Structure 1
Amino acid sequence: MSRTVAIKAMDAEAFAAFGDLIDIVGAPDKIINQGFCGRFHDRANLDFSDGRAGISLFKAEPRSLPLKLDMVERHPDGSQTFIPMSEHSFLVVVAPDAGGAPGQPQAFRTEVGQVINFHRGTWHGVLTPLHAPGLFAVVDRIGPGSNLEEHWFEEPYMIE
């Protein structure tokens, strides 16, 4: 028996329980650089139990749909921000916490120019670019311990 999850357009309100949608909707908070640049200020809540914020680069292989979802993970000690380094959308899979295990997964497709920040402890799928080159800058916790918990589903979901 197959369980399916329909992909929704990324929306700040629908994603709010899992993290922050970072984009440039509306007017900038401030105009800087002699009027040539709009600053959209302080758009994500970076949250770390200890350690420090670090910037890493990820290069992920593009995936195709439908996608088999058999595992999600979370980072109990820090939030995690994914900043695409190309002009392509990507897939974001999240699940609410249900007593220490992931609940019903949800899937979102970002728009070009959108960045996401997972709240600390949010169950999420692995980095899932839908197009090459799959390059992302990632801001997350650098510190002691593994900061990774995985959950493997007994029966996978299909993301369509």
Structure 2
Amino acid sequence: MSSPLSRIRLAVQPISAEVFAPYGRLLQPRAHPVQRDFTDAGLECDGRPTLNVIWQPPEGLRFTRLERHSALTQGFVHLQGGPAVICVAAATDPSPESIPDPHALRAFRVEPGMAWLFHRHTWHALDRYVPGPEACTFLIINSDPNPTQIVDYATGVSELHADLGNDSAPRRIDHAAGQGIEFEIDSTGL
């Protein structure tokens, strides 16, 4: 019989460019442009950029896995639905043995119409969490191939994928730290 998971509760914070800066960049126009204005989004991609649409239904507010991408500054646009929550931890050393302190994870509320890029190697939950009854739709900017590391804090095991979704034999790493942990988004105030 397995022992129960230790739960870390994440308070949801409002998002702003300043508080999100350690994790990535909010994509928004410069303040009050007087004419049409192109702003470089800062996308970095080592492979072929891909664009996908994700439909995310409400599926609960608990998770155990984080991922990071080394080949791009992964991007999202919250297209429609209600508010959602993204969970992030700052980038760690690119070494596969380096995973974030689970207490360093932060949760941010994102609204429809918002867009963001994660810095390379920024850790984030695999899903966007939908606290309300309404599903959300997101546009995601990815890379092909998509080298990705996923760590499961319940088991303490990382998988290193040379190309997420197409790698049938990812390399596994056992982490002494990060075992027996579950994250839960605190829905108070959402």
| Bucket of the pairwise TM-score, normalised by the shorter protein | 0.7 to 0.9
What's the TM-score once normalised by structure 1's chain length? Answer: 0.80
* Inter-partner Cα distance in structure 2 for 1:68 and 1:152: 13
Per the alignment, do residues 80 and 13 of structure 1 end up closer, same or farther by CA in structure 2, a change over 3 Å counting? same
Contact 1:93 1:107 in 2 (8 A): yes
**Offset at residue 63 of structure 1 (A):** 3.5
Q: Aligned pair 1:70/2:68, yes or no?
A: no
Contact 1:94 1:107 in 2 (8 A): yes
Deviations 1:89-148 (A, max 9, x none): 2211001244520231000001332111111111001222425332211112123xx411
Contact 1:19 1:118 in 2 (8 A): yes
* Inter-partner Cα distance in structure 1 for 2:142 and 2:7: 34
What's the TM-score once normalised by structure 2's chain length? Answer: 0.68
* Corresponding residue of 1:22: 27
Q: Aligned pair 1:134/2:136, yes or no?
A: yes
1:84 is aligned, of 78, 81, 84, to 78
* Inter-partner Cα distance in structure 1 for 2:22 and 2:8: 23
Instruction: Give SS of 1:14's match.
Output: helix
Q: What are the ranges of 5 or more consecutive residues in structure 1 without an aligned counterpart?
A: 32-38
* Corresponding residue of 2:182: 156
Deviations 1:30-69 (A, max 9, x none): 33xxxxxxx4x32522112x212221111222244xx223
* Corresponding residue of 1:44: 41
Instruction: Give SS of 1:150's match.
Output: strand
Say which is worse superposed, 18-27 or 121-130, in terms of deviation.
18-27
Contact 2:81 2:136 in 1 (8 A): no
* Corresponding residue of 1:36: none
* Inter-partner Cα distance in structure 2 for 1:20 and 1:29: 23
| Matched pairs, number | 147
* Inter-partner Cα distance in structure 2 for 1:151 and 1:111: 27
* Corresponding residue of 1:35: none
